[in-house]
Structure 1
Amino acid sequence: MPLTFLDLFAGGGGLSEGFIRAGFSPVAHVEADKAACFTLKTRTAYHWLTQQGRHDRYIDYLQGNISRSDLYDSVPPSEIASVINAEIGQESLSTIFDTVDELLNGRELDLIIGGPPCQAYSLVGRSRDKNKMRGDKRNYLYTFYAEFLRRYRPRYFVFENVAGLLSAKAPDGDLYFDKMRFLFKEVGYETEHNILSASNYGVLQNRSRIILVGKRGMTTGFYPNPETWMPINVVVNEVFKDLPPLCAGQGSVRPCEVKPYQGTYLYKAAIKNDLFPVTFHSARTQNDRDLEIYKIAITKWNKSHERLDYNDLPEHLKTHENRTSFLDRFKVIAGDMPFSHTIVAHISQDGHFSIHPDIEQCRSLTPREAARLQTFPDDYFFESTTDIPGRSPAFRQIGNAVPVLLAQKIAQKLLEVW
């Protein structure tokens, strides 16, 4: 029997997808965001249908031939019910427990994964908030994580968050990270941690996360350091190679015609799957001013690997009053480098921080391009709150996610030391 896990603060499912790939079996996902829950339900349907050899049903959905409800009706109701749309807190805790208990149906829970929203701990979040995020209720969500540990007593847990967690201070001056580890020890878990950079594990992106692993009991030396993989002679442009070129405003969330792909990276990273069509290659519309700035930024990067300083723009292109911070707000993806800068959730607001390096296309990334940089497989479909899929919720889920390949590497190593 595969080892079971519960995913808390699941988001769009990047962490979970990596653990499923490694052989773990999800019991439930708990997530507050409604759109992300639909994404998790759709992915749950994908896994069930493909296990049954019913790929065509999922392809019908990607092509828009059947509705989301039709897709969900194609799988057992218990599969869809395993996605729990709830904000984890004191009021919801007992209801969530009851649902998870029902889904477990007497089985033991082997593992808990997930991490609370990172804005309260991130350096950027603290720099932008006048109170440095102190008093933000998200600072204390780890206490509810501990309640799940108390109730289900899994052998291990994997808690992920931004590296800024290590320096985030509580109002009493103590570090939140120290408080977490003390609480986890109090409920019976030794913890070990490391900061892992996704670029060391096959992800073409410079993204660091703190991965805290807990093991029930008092033993130490159990940390599952993943096997590194840095693809040789592969640069970021590899993720764009087979996608059709688009200008701003072009493309569709529905399947697109891809070009022949002669490389190996997209297959080795399990991003490309020829069984399923590629969706969400849709570029947002940009105004003329932004496109002019993009051209300047792309030219500057491609000619001399220099970043655009906002203050260096011609006056008629400057519309932001803030001229002292975030001067790199227009940033080109480093297509000719081994990894890009970090894809962040702000990409759902605008694409200025994730500009495509091809000046002929002159636009920001599409959700599919961003998803590939996060190593989401091409058959992953991102949902919105309505039946009409949209770019913004997709970008938010992609930007907040743990890269799938990094999650898989952690999960594989955890199985080895289990």
Structure 2
Amino acid sequence: MSRRPSPIAGVDLFCGVGGLSAGLQQAGITINAGIDIDETCSYPFEANIGASFLARDVREISAEHLNSIWAGNKVRLLAGCAPCQPFSSYRRGVDTSHESGWPLLAEFGRLIASTLPELVTMENVPRIAKSEVFIEFLRKLRTNGYWVDWKSCYGPRYGLPQHRRRLVLVASKLGPIKVPEGSLEPEDFATVRTAIGDLPSVASGERHELDPLHASRRLSDINMKRIAMSKPGGTWEDWPEELRAECHRRSSGSTFKNVYARMSWDDPSPTITTLATNFGAGRFGHPEQDRPITMREAALLQGFPRDYLFSKPGRMPQFAPVTRLIGNAVPPPLAKSIGSSLLNHVHECSSRNQGK
């Protein structure tokens, strides 16, 4: 049976490797193109999404560019996740007002105002809600006639096996709209075990012969001793004194408990960051094996399908660039929930208009 054509055609700004597009596609939305300045995202986006990738700075994109991509589609969606590093809680009070990421949400707003797509969705870190640039973004949406809703969404409630909160915004010219509510309760949350528990074992520094992405960084001798003494869900306080890092022995470092630590099998993972394959950068130790999680495990915990491609066939995936792409991605399960909500919204608005 053929699938009914989607009434929504999307363009994904700041698309990265396609996490947002993948989830929207899974929900049934057509993706016409992705736009990102990072050319390393070109192959993953096109190979997995099957849509064109434009290696362009969003500041150089015009209304004419976007309208040519939509090319007459009736319900246009402009989606995106502007780089969130200036707003990240990991920055711990650092003054980021000089950084280039700040104006990019304003560029998103510029393109909305110049094309007036029927639908808009944006995903970012929750702390952006307190920024002047976000408040101005909301004001421009409402000035341009959009119904708007936004909220902080907790990943496990949407099927993501990861303790991750993201701000989600939806806006529509068709009628009042709401961010979808995550429906899962704690007893139904996806966990580390459900996401990666059936993957084959690999040792520290080893790469699985059938999946080059299932590769673990090699631990130093002292970190091998540390992870061997680490308990799932525990901290470096479980180690004997001689294994503790010098910084953790000082009072200034004693509160940093979620580093050099193992995940727990039966809980969602911690937030998957761009350093998620580094044992010392967070709670990124495998729950059972004496090693950090692999690139494939990081991708699965971020909600990507198991067969998602991150590098060209025949090219060996490298830890730093691939983990950066995974950590910066929008989790597909959250994007799928957003996409389903947008499709329901369009159908409801269409039915309401036909009934008039």
TM-score normalised over the length of structure 2:
0.85
CA contact (8 A) 1:334 1:341 kept: no
CA deviations on 1:267-288 (whole Å, 9 max, x unpaired) are xxxxxxxxxxxx5111111111
Q: CA deviation at 1:350?
A: 5.7
Query: Map of 1:17-416 to 2, 5 A cutoff?
Result: 17-45=22-50, 79=51, 82-89=52-59, 92-94=60-62, 97-108=63-74, 110-127=76-93, 129=94, 132-168=95-131, 175-216=132-173, 219-220=175-176, 222-226=177-181, 228-230=183-185, 232=188, 235-252=191-208, 255-256=210-211, 280-298=213-231, 301=232, 305-309=233-237, 314-315=241-242, 317-318=244-245, 320=247, 323=250, 324-325=252-253, 326-337=256-267, 339-347=268-276, 352-353=281-282, 354-358=284-288, 361-383=289-311, 387-416=315-344
5+ residue gaps, structure 1, are: 46-78, 169-174, 257-278
Gap change, CA 1:176 and 1:99, over 3 Å in 2: closer
Contact map agreement 1:14 1:376 (CA 8 A) in 2: yes
Alpha-carbon distance change, 241 to 347 in structure 1, aligned in 2, over 3 angstroms: closer
How far the C-alpha of 1:108 sits from its partner, in A, is 4.3
CA RMSD of aligned residues (A): 2.7
Q: How many angstroms apart in 1 are the aligned matches of 2:53 and 2:193?
A: 35
> What residue ranges of structure 2 are gaps of 5+ in the alignment?
347-356
Alignment-derived partner of residue 9 in structure 1: 14
Q: Is the 8 A contact 1:375 1:405 kept in 2?
A: yes
Supply the distance in 1 between the matched residues of 2:148 and 2:240 (Cα, whole angstroms).
Answer: 49
Distance 1:233 1:349 in 2: 25
Per the alignment, do residues 126 and 38 of structure 1 end up closer, same or farther by CA in structure 2, a change over 3 Å counting? farther
SS of residue in 2 equivalent to 1:247: coil
Q: Percent identity?
A: 25
- Determine if contact 2:21/2:49 at 8 Å carries over to the other structure: no
Partner of residue 53, structure 1? none
CA gap 1:100/1:166 in 2 versus in 1, 3 angstroms: closer
Within 1, Cα distance between the matches of 2:241 and 2:158?
A: 40
3-state secondary structure, aligned to 1:203: coil
Q: Please list the CA deviations of residues 165-189 of structure 1 after superposition, one character each: whole Å capped at 9, or x if unmatched.
A: 1234xxxxxx333222112223332
Q: Structure 1 residues 100, 381: CA separation in 2 closer, same or farther (over 3 Å shift)?
A: same
Q: Is the 8 A contact 1:351 1:365 kept in 2?
A: no
In structure 2, relative to structure 1, the CA distance for the partners of 1:104 and 1:234 (3 Å cut) is closer
1:33 shift after superposition: 1.6
Report SS of the residue matched to 2:11: strand
Rounded to whole Å, the distance in 1 between the matches of 2:107 and 2:127 is: 20
Q: Secondary structure, in 3 states, of the residue corresponding to 1:213?
A: strand
In structure 2, C-alpha distance between the alignment counterparts of 1:341 and 1:394, rounded to whole Å: 18
Partner amino acid for 2:300? R
